Amino acid sequence: MTAALVIVIAIVVLLIAVVGWAIATYNGLIKLRNLVQEAWRQIDVELTRRHDLIGNLVETVKGYAAHERGTLEDVIKARAGAMAPGQSPAQQAESENMLSQALGRLLAIAEAYPDLKANQNFMALQAELTSTEDRIASARRYYNATVRDLNTKVETVPSNIIAGVFNISRAEYFEAVGEQREAPKVDFGQREAVIPPPSGYAGGSGSAGAPGGGAPQDTPPAPPA
């Protein structure tokens, strides 16, 4: 076997190896991109369910606290913003954060209405929303993990060469701002807050105040410094 033939064979083997590596790398990138898209679709399903539950929750609250118009309108507006199509994951996360904040204010108000808190539909919606928040958090963790894997491949050598050739770009993370996606927070974590009932609920005479008569007359002393 001549030296020229050996060189030709070596070049052919090298080319086959490079082509094989390129194909394997490309297929791996496509698989990761598909996993990211699939994970995002799962988040979208859970977010849609969240929006539906919040809509039902608003309708339930209206039956007991219709005069809390400002808060109800804030939730409706934030829900519409979260449901707007065509948002990127980062934009969706911001919209959902605004919705969570508005929802927290609504649920804080609900604490002042014992009849509402005891309503079976209201309690069922809270339980469903808490469960949905848990699923969103789980889906978000999986999505962000797949995004991390894809972005690592897109940004590191030598797989970034194939990503650049075939225009496979980084994906956006779906980040929860603060703790608004943790179930105990969204699950209406105003339990410790002291929320005075609205004047329309308590009545002008104060007869609906503390048990045994009118509202307490004395203000508890401030704790020592």
Per-residue confidence (pLDDT) for residue 224, from 0 to 100: 44
DSSP code at position 65: H
Query: The tokens 């209405």 sit on which residue?
Result: 113
What is the C-alpha to C-alpha distance for residues 92 and 156, in angstroms, rounded to an integer? Answer: 28
Check: CB of residue 32 under 8 Å from CB of residue 155: no
196-202 CB contacts, 8 Å cutoff, 24+ apart: 196/112, 197/112, 197/113, 198/65, 198/67, 198/68, 198/112, 200/67, 201/112, 201/113
**24 or 3, higher pLDDT:** 24
The string of pLDDT tens digits covering residues 156-195 is 999 999 999 999 999 999 986 544 434 334 433 433 433 3
The string of pLDDT tens digits covering residues 38-53 is 999 999 999 999 999 9
Per-residue confidence (pLDDT) for residue 1, from 0 to 100: 66
Per-residue confidence (pLDDT) for residue 67, from 0 to 100: 85
Q: What is the mean pLDDT of the chain?
A: 82
Per-residue confidence (pLDDT) for residue 136, from 0 to 100: 96
The CA-to-CA distance between both ends of the chain, in Å, stands at 95
**Mean pLDDT: which of 25-29, 68-72, 205-209 is highest?**
25-29
The string of pLDDT tens digits covering residues 100-150 is 999 999 999 888 899 998 899 999 999 999 999 999 999 999 999 999 999
Question: Residues near 92 by Cβ (< 8 Å), separated by ≥ 6?
Answer: 47, 82, 174
Q: For the chain, what's the residue count?
A: 225
- Name the maximum alpha-carbon separation found in the chain: 110
182 Rama sector, left if φ>0, alpha if ψ -120 to 50, beta otherwise: beta
pLDDT of 66 > 70? The answer is: yes
